[in-house]
Structure 1
Amino acid sequence: MAATPVSQSSPRTSIRKPAAAAVPTRQSIKSAQTRGRLIEATIQCLVRVGYSGTTTPLVATEAGLSRGAMLHHFENSATLIRATIVELHERRLRAFRRSSEITEHDPATMVGAYWKQVQKPAFVAFQELALAARTDPELALIMRPLQVEYRERFNAEALALFPEWQSEPQHLAEAIALSQTLIEGMAMSLMTGALDETMVPALLGTLEDRIRALRPTA
Structure 2
Amino acid sequence: MKAFEAQIRELKRQLEASPWLKWAGLAIALLLAAFVLQSMDGVRTERQKAAIEAEQNLRRILSLKGQDAWLEREKNAQQLRDALTAQLPGVATPGMAQAALQSWLRGVTASFDSKQNVTIRVNRSGPVDGMPDVIRVNAALNGALSPRQSLGLLRQIENSPNLIAVETLTVLSDDSNTLHLTVNAYYRVTGAATP
How would you bin the TM-score normalised by the shorter chain? under 0.3
Q: If the length of structure 2 is used for normalisation, what is the TM-score?
A: 0.24
Q: If the length of structure 1 is used for normalisation, what is the TM-score?
A: 0.22
Larger Rg: 2
Higher relative contact order by CA 8 Å / sep ≥ 6: 1 or 2?
A: 1
Q: Going by fraction, where is helix more abundant, 1 or 2?
A: 1
Q: Going by fraction, where is strand more abundant, 1 or 2?
A: 2
